[in-house]
Structure 1
Amino acid sequence: MTTTAPVTSAAVTSGSAGAPHGTARAGVPPLTIEPVDPGRDSAALHSWLAHPRSRFWDMTDRTPQQVRTYLETVVSDPHQDGWLGRADGAPAFYVETYDPARALADVLDVEPGDVGMHLLVAPPTGEPVPGFTSAVMAAVVRFCLQPATGAGPGLGAARVVVEPDVRNTAVLAKNAAAGFRVLREVDLVSDGRRKRAALSVCTRADHATSPLGAGYAGVHDPYAHLRPEPAAHAHRHLVAKAIAELAHERLLVPRAAGREGWWALETPGGRARYTFAARVLPLDHWLLDEATLTREIDGAPADLDVLELVLELQQTLQVPDDLLAVYLEELSSTLAAATAKRQRALERGGPTAADLLTATYQQTEAAMTEGHPGFLANNGRIGFSLPDYQAYAPENGRRVRLVWVAARREHTHLALGAGLDERTHLAQALSPDEHAAFAQRLADRGLDPDEYHYLPLHPWQAEHRLPVTFAADVARADLVPLGPGGDEHQPQQSIRTFFNLTRPGAPYVKVALAIQNMGFLRGLSPRYMRDTPAINDWVADLVAADPTLAAAGFTVLREQAALGYTGDVYHRTPEPNAHRKMLAALWRENPVPRVTSGERLATMAALLHRDHHGDAHATALVRASGLDPADWLRAYLHAYLRPLVHCLLGHDLAFMPHGENLVLVLRDHVVVRAFMKDVGEEVAVLGPRPLPAALERVRGVTPGDEKALAVFTDVFDGVLRHLSAILEADGVLPAARFWSLVAECLDAYEADHPDLARGLAGDVDLRAERFAHSCLNRLQLRNTLQMVDLTDQSSSLLYAGQMANPVARAARTGADRAV
């Protein structure tokens, strides 16, 4: 018989059902399996086969000599083997294994590593031993599946195949208990005898998770991350983050706890009490020492639990009753992702902060673990199953093939940026083989490829939405599923954006993904996509023509092409709905071709990343650069803050410049320039400057104090606050010195552009003593289904009074004295 591993003549000890391998079930003696010896074993086999219980072997009338001849035939055949099983040394069962490619090729799609199996258990000679047949079945299946090792021989099968008679209900039940799955019923003929058989297969995972298997201990446990240690670690981190960020947003008010630097937080009613050590830095940033955090319930020590914390604080946090469970589910999903990251670190380590100094762009992208630094429930992904999370979560770094659909032209709109025609777009979006294959598949169905556009879908979207939500569109061939593409992609931190790993330099692809994540359903609006390339062209041209931005190396990654499908019934309903945002895509420029020798790309989120040891990548960069920390920070601020300030003050232009929306270019571990991305959905013009008519949707005229929030909220509070805390905690740069360098950057800008120091309208003051404290978690807690109205974001914001500006002129004078 052909097997995947060599089989020796040594016996193999096999465990019994539900017990660890090599151990025996209570009352069942040890079981061993060895090659059959026709001369020695034929008499025993004859007596077993003659028993009425063995009738399905169709050998009850065989003579002893015929049984011996049969065994000799089995042993001499290179495509099958016979095995004798013993119980405590006494013959107790017989196993035949065979090559299904020869015996079942007509009825089975044979796969590499398939092994066929027949089992005969000796009739009991005395009182039956409870569980004996189950133990034998478990031992035999494990013997077939386990590789040959020092612990004993095995066949190393990838899959075991059986074909019992459909009338043999006892064996069918035992097969099911061992993990066999019936593929279908088939008719088989052997030695002139015909039977109706239940063709069945069992993989290692099937058996391990079956009633006769060892449970998830027998295979990689998909729930291994949901155990006490990784859960406790994740709860501690999330409770600490919750207290720190919600105190920052002034929803929670910790009180001094007696000792200097120690604080206490009591929940309403005083039943729960949290104590911790923390320092309060500029911008009301709570630098909380996670290791010191404790919880008490009615004075007794209690485990930290972020879900319980939200329940305890619901009244304070003002989470609506009807949305509490939704928020808790997003938070639970965030917890699950955190435990998975922790378990992966425990099992495999993973890249350290120092490793990332030489990591590729995509290695860095996959190494990020925190998500948004300010949001507590930042990994919601409601709609993903565990396999979906494992396949598509960016921190897992898996390779993904997008699924393509042909969308009828009359129901779609392809928008192309300057310098791009449809032919060039297709050459960038599809490989030649993909393009040819998709056109042929349409032609094979009698459809004209020229009547369709090619639209990529997230695999999850293709599985969960295309055949159900858009069933009618598929049925009338307005949407034609084409299957997976050939290019492999890696999901980015923004989860619905993909980087092409197969064709270097190919555009990013951003697709719709109808899961709930961080307060939004992650769709893409075909209506918005129509104007996206034009908006990007306008912004890119403005940026490229500006000498100040050019000097800082600040550029835009344009979204050059966008495609949206609107032929569905949901686009004809009276009210807008999320279903209108499920079939659209855009293609964005790739930064890789734009870097030169000696330069390295990294997501800006990496500056706020701590590895599984707690080491910060920003600290590693500063130390590896060899620069004074102040000079390293100056370089970063020149590449990041200065361009954003100039865009706001010189052009009334605001981006969404958080960590995942900036791609940094580093040389010798120093930030030298930056790419801005995700422009079409998030850029805003905050003044009355002239705009092409198609771009009017990005205009949002606001007063100067609100314009300034584009820097105060999105840059100071959203990014620099967290970076300052990391450098302070690691002893790299005190927070006061950090903010004095930020002020220095603004001073330099004002000196170079005195006419723009307060913006085009003279109403923006980035050196004001205080500014409105716009809060992110408050938005999500108020409505976790839709944090803000994307068509009117300004009116959706929530404020918690005002914050002292750490770069105010008066504040800076004091800070300079302090350093």
Structure 2
Amino acid sequence: MQTTDRAWREAGHALLVRALAELSYEDMLSPEPLGDGAYRVSLAAEYTFRAVRGGFESWRIDPGSVRRNGVPASDPMEFLVDARSALGLDGPTTAEALRELVATWSADALLRRSLPTASGLADASYVDLEQAQGGHPAMVLNKGRLGFTASDAEAYAPEAGRTLRLTWIAVHPSLGVSAGVSLADELDPDTTAAFASRAPDGYVWLPVHPFHLDVAVRPLFAPYLADGRIVELGEAPDRYRVLASVRTLVNVDHPAKFHVKVPLLIRNTLVWRGLPAGPTAGAPAVSAWLHALQASDPFLASHVDLLGEVASVAVRHPLFDRIPDAPYRYHELLAAVWREPVETYLRPGERARSLASLLVTGSDGVALVAELVARSGLSAVSWVRTLLRVVLAAPLHALHVHDLAFCPHGENTVVVFGPDDVPVRTMLKDFAEDVNLLPGRVYPGLPPEADRLLPRWSEGELAHSIVTAVFAGVFRPLAVLVGPLGISEPEFWGLVREAVEEYFEAVPEAAARRKEYGLTADRVERICLNREQLTGGGFHDRAEKEEFEIVSGTVPNPLVVHG
């Protein structure tokens, strides 16, 4: 699929502006003030722009002001080459970064080609709105998807909007283990009968993404396909669409069926997108515990729905399994997780939209949030205040009452809207790898298999689940989008502080943990995802994902009024 020249130019220009802003925010670039809001960055070429500073000391760059040697600039790849010395990038890293950058640029251009107006975005289904997302707002190289060819991107990337079918395989029980609820209803009776005629008794069944089947399963598991420990059963008829995360699939023929999360042998935004065997196998146990915890807590029960990971299959590779220090992607090659769909918890007239999708601006230049405010009939302040309360309720409560951190970033948080497009509650997802606990604390009812799997972090690290994923990751760009609605950035952060304070007033027992978690401390750590990707471990094979170091220094907390 070819993009138009206009879409290509606009996508490149936007990517250049984001690169200047985010690399300056992370102190990888040092803009020199020229007066009256103008700045200069001296690289292999001289870049100038106009900007104001925002929350977390971020940069709000006027897109039309960016110049390279005095001429309007719009080429992010040229910028990266200009900046490589200042960024400290060697040749191999620069080349890898350019590879991810041009993939991101291509994806952004494709997205712009089919982007609806704000009204169209507001009318879009949950899955269609996922297609319009722009990727991680803080990362420059946010759609690298290294491993995809151009044809793969056109077939399997969310912005392409296409459907795919899954091939099912059967695995000998010495290699694969299943957990959770029965999946008898996931395949129609005729398909089940046809697959059963090919599968040996006692084998474990699971679906495989067509890309992954060709790139990972057939070549890397070839010995076990040859000796019969793995059997290809065939392609199932149901069609799927991908969510913004690329590896999570939604059944478009039967929306009430489970969402399926499968591994992909691609690297995107710092990590390889596999599924580790341990967390995959334990996912149903973690979800069952969280559902029981929610049922015992009236506050959680009324403010959030948990999209449980109700079934899973984890398959080990007999030889890679004996190499514990191999790059982690070789331990995440074959698995599947089935998750409850959003339809499970929607009531009549309600609509689901991921939190990340609220950052999208339509092809008419109108932000989706502006369209939703207009449709709601509320004032912008009232609507935004409601959104903030709804989004923060469950993460604040889980953290301060249960010492438990979800990872409620834009894709993992789904906002539920009433018929009037006013936010009413949230849904949360992704529990097997993204729920974290305190070390040394005993959690009632936590199954041993879940206890062994869930990471244990300190209070400060648990607090990052909100500071990083919500405040810096979503609210920082949202503060810009609500500006045209008459809400200044200081006023926006005041509303965030107000939502936090109202929670503590409503749940006084949570205040005992307030200081330890420090969400309203004067300063918070600066999260530097681009720094880690470009100069840390982002382009290197590692045995563990957790080795990434994404913190560099501190910044003033925008929730606090600084004199």
TM-score category by the smaller chain? over 0.9
**Partner residue, 1:662:** 413
Secondary structure in 2 aligned to 1:640? helix
Deviation string for 1:635-690 (max 9, x for gaps)?
11221112211111111111221111111111111111111011111111134321
Q: Name the counterpart of 1:676.
A: 428
Q: Where do 1:118-517 residues align within 5 Å?
A: 222=1, 224-225=2-3, 228-258=5-35, 260-267=36-43, 271-296=44-69, 301=71, 303-342=73-112, 344-345=113-114, 350-368=115-133, 370-416=134-180, 420=181, 425-442=182-199, 448=200, 450-517=201-268
Q: Is the 8 A contact 1:536 1:560 kept in 2?
A: yes
**Quick one: which of 438, 456, 464 aligns to 1:686?**
438
Aligned partner letter, 2:322: R
Q: Secondary structure at the match of 2:425?
A: strand
Matched AA of 1:439: A
Other structure's SS at 1:495 match: coil
Are the aligned partners of 2:110 and 2:159 in contact in 1 as well (CA < 8 Å)? no
Question: Following the alignment from structure 2 to structure 1, what is the Cα–Cα distance between the partners of residues 497 and 286?
Answer: 32
Counterpart residue number, 2:472: 717
Aligned to 1:136: none
Instruction: Give 1:147's aligned residue.
Output: none
Q: Distance in 2 between matches of 1:787 and 1:542?
A: 37
Aligned residues of 1:520 and 1:787 also touching (Cα < 8 A):
no
Separation in 1, partners of 2:45, 2:137: 26
Tell me how far 1:320 sits from its aligned partner: 4.7
Deviation at 1:746, TM superposition (A): 1.4
Q: Distance in 1 between matches of 2:300 and 2:15?
A: 38
Q: CA deviation at 1:623?
A: 1.8
TM-score by length of 1: 0.65
Alpha-carbon distance between aligned partners in 2 of 1:501 and 1:803, rounded to the nearest angstrom: 44
Contact 1:414 1:562 in 2 (8 A): yes
Question: Which residue identity is paired with 2:500?
Answer: L
Deviations 1:16-68 (A, max 9, x none): xxxxxxxxxxxxxxxxxxxxxxxxxxxxxxxxxxxxxxxxxxxxxxxxxxxxx
Shift of residue 763, structure 1, vs aligned partner: 1.8
The Cα offsets for residues 250-273 of structure 1, whole Å up to 9 and x where unpaired, read as 222222234x23222221xxx411
Native 8 Å contact 1:406 1:479 kept in 2: yes
Which structure is richer in relative contact order (CA contacts within 8 A, separation 6 or more)? 2
2:350 corresponds to 1:580: no
Deviation at 1:246, TM superposition (A): 1.2
Does the Cα contact within 8 Å between 1:619 and 1:732 map onto a contact in 2? Answer: no
Distance 1:574 1:686 in 2: 26
Query: Percent identical across equivalent pairs?
Result: 34
* Rounded Cα–Cα distance in structure 2 between residues aligned with 1:306 and 1:462: 34
Q: Secondary structure of the equivalent of 2:40?
A: strand
CA deviation profile, 1:179-238 (whole Å, cap 9, x unmatched)? xxxxxxxxxxxxxxxxxxxxxxxxxxxxxxxxxxxxxxxxxxx4x32x754332222111
1:554, 1:673 within 8 Å by CA — same for their partners in 2? yes
**What secondary structure is seen at the aligned counterpart in 2 of 1:659?**
coil
Matches within 5 A, 1:37-48: none
Q: Distance in 2 between matches of 1:554 and 1:415?
A: 25
d(CA) in 2 for partners of 1:717 and 1:593?
30
Aligned 8 A contact 1:779 1:788 in 2: no
Counterpart contact for 1:639–1:673, Cα < 8 Å: yes
Give the TM-score taking structure 2 as reference length. Answer: 0.94
Q: Is the 8 A contact 2:278 2:453 kept in 1?
A: no
Say if 1:604 and 1:663, in contact at 8 Å, map to a contact too: yes
Q: Which residues of structure 2 form unaligned runs of 5+?
A: none
Determine which structure has more spread, i.e. the larger CA radius of gyration.
1
Q: Is the 8 A contact 1:780 1:787 kept in 2?
A: no
Find out whether 1:777 has 2:530 as its counterpart.
yes
Deviation at 1:289, TM superposition (A): 1.9
1:261 maps to amino acid: G
Across the aligned residues of Structure 1 and Structure 2, the Cα RMSD in angstroms comes to 2.1
In the alignment, the residues of structure 2 paired with residue 664 and residue 302 of structure 1 have an alpha-carbon distance, to the nearest angstrom, of 39
The separation in 1 between residues aligned to 2:121 and 2:212, in whole angstroms, is 32
Provide the aligned length of Structure 1 versus Structure 2: 556
Shift of residue 790, structure 1, vs aligned partner = 5.3
Structure 1 unaligned spans of 5+: 1-221, 443-447, 815-819
Shift of 1:791: 5.9
CA contact (8 A) 1:516 1:785 kept: no
- Structure 1 residue 806 corresponds to structure 2 residue 539: no
> Shift of residue 371 of structure 1?
0.6
Contact 1:652 1:686 in 2 (8 A): yes
CA-CA distance at 1:313 after TM superposition: 1.7
* Contact 2:245-2:411 at 8 Å conserved across structures: yes
1:570 corresponds to 2:320: yes
Deviations 1:75-109 (A, max 9, x none): xxxxxxxxxxxxxxxxxxxxxxxxxxxxxxxxxxx
Q: What SS is found at the alignment partner of 1:327? A: helix
Q: CA deviation at 1:504?
A: 2.5
Query: Which residue type is aligned with residue 624 of structure 1?
Result: R
**Aligned pair in 2 of structure 1 residues 637, 510: CA closer, same or farther (>3 Å)?**
same
Tell me which residue corresponds to 1:205.
Answer: none
Residue 183 of structure 2 aligns to a residue in which SS? helix
2:478 counterpart letter in structure 1: L
Contact 1:330/1:518 (<8 A) preserved: no
- Candidates 476, 497, 513, aligned match of 1:759: 513
**By how many angstroms is 1:788 displaced?**
8.5
Matches within 5 A, 1:546-561: 546-551=297-302, 553-561=303-311
Contact 1:652–1:687, Cα closer than 8 Å, also in 2: no
C-alpha change, 1:286 and 1:303, in structure 2 (3 Å) is closer
Letter in 2 for 1:286: W
Is residue 636 from structure 1 mapped to residue 387 from structure 2 by the alignment? yes
Looking at structure 1, the residues matched to 314 and 38 of structure 2 have their Cα atoms a distance apart, in angstroms, of: 54
- SS of 1:354 mapped into structure 2: helix
Counterpart secondary structure, 2:197: helix
> Distance between the aligned counterparts of 2:185 and 2:553, measured in 1?
49
Task: Indicate the SS of the match to 1:414.
Answer: strand
Cα-to-partner distance string for 1:447-505 (whole Å, 9 max, x where unaligned):
x3x22111111110112222212111111111111221111110111101100111231
Deviation at 1:766, TM superposition (A): 1.8
In structure 2, do the counterparts of structure 1 residues 661 and 698 end up closer, same or farther at CA, with 3 Å as the change threshold? Answer: same
Q: Is the 8 A contact 2:66 2:72 kept in 1?
A: no
